[in-house]
Amino acid sequence: MKDLLKIIFMFVLVIVVFIYKDKISNFITDKVIYKGSNEILTYNEYYQNNDYLYVQNIDTNSVNNYQEMLNMFYTIINSGDDSFSFYCNYSKCINDAKELVKGNETIANINNFVHPYNSFSNVNIDIMSNGKITVKIKKVYNNDEITFINNYIDEFINNNINDNMSTTDKIKVFHDYIINNTIYDENKKEGAYTAYNLITTGKSICGGYSDIIAIYLNKLNIQNYRITSSNHIWNLVFLDGKWLHIDATWDDPVTSDGKQYLLHNFFMISTDELLNLDKIEHNFDTNVYLEAK
């Protein structure tokens, strides 16, 4: 009888181990090999404690489904940390992580929800057999560029902004200043997509325009994120309970006569107004940028 009970116990134990082998492996790796010393995510000064309908900040070292995978990548990028590790706890987790860092639209969309200073130029992952994934971030802006841009914007604010101005006017005066002092870079030279290139050369493509607007809005503590279509990027701003679009690139048009124009066609407009003006270059994914629906 005792032998039969031992056999039954061993049989049940084998089944339990098989069913929960992934969790057991992660537990042993975490609690025994690494002695429970999970990494702690650090947050720099450009971290934004903002949750959106598409992605949210999370406080965990593991992911259990695809949405949590998106949230994990958002949280890591948003934190400003250069490297962070987490564990996979669902069957497709590693494949999902690999797909995300292949350069597809999903990871690029996630990048738009963070401060431009924390946005990445490249993301890589290292994968261990036990499901531990280490995310490594290479950022767009280095410290010298950040200091230069901050000084530039701080000087502008000190010289042009006062407490008597409405929030809309504070945004408009910078929008106009950027357009009056820059032109669209039709040659699209290397680095033309950054705010640093825009203010040091006076030229940029849409990435530079949207980054400088986003950085300025963050200086004023105005919630915003960048929004993209297939080949264009602009800004979405939350003001007075509404999400509104700003496209400084399209308000600074390239003209056949070579003259410089300052427009306000794409300044603080609703999504309906935006799409009435243009449904091709501004045809964004409403399943991602849900606040703009």
Q: Is 109 exposed, middle or buried (0-12, 13-18, 19+ CB in 10 A)?
A: buried
Confidence of residue 27 (pLDDT cuts 50, 70, 90): low
Q: What's the average model confidence in pLDDT over 267-277?
A: 98
End-to-end CA distance of the chain: 68
Give tens-digit pLDDT for 62-119.
999 999 999 999 999 999 999 999 999 999 999 999 999 987 799 999 999 999 999 9
Residue 16 pLDDT more than 80?
no
* Euclidean distance between CA atoms 18 and 33, whole angstroms: 21
For the stretch 188-220, pLDDT in tens is 766 678 999 999 999 999 999 999 999 999 999
Q: Above 50 in pLDDT, residue 34? A: no
**CA-closest candidate to residue 217, choices 226, 228, 206, 230:** 226
The predicted structure's pLDDT at residue 17: 54
Q: Give the fold, CATH level 3, of 143-292.
A: C8orf32 fold (3.10.620)
* Token representation of residue 93: 């987790």
- pLDDT at residue 290 greater than cutoff 70: yes
Q: What is the pTM of this model?
A: 0.86
Q: Between 118 and 22, whose confidence is greater?
A: 118
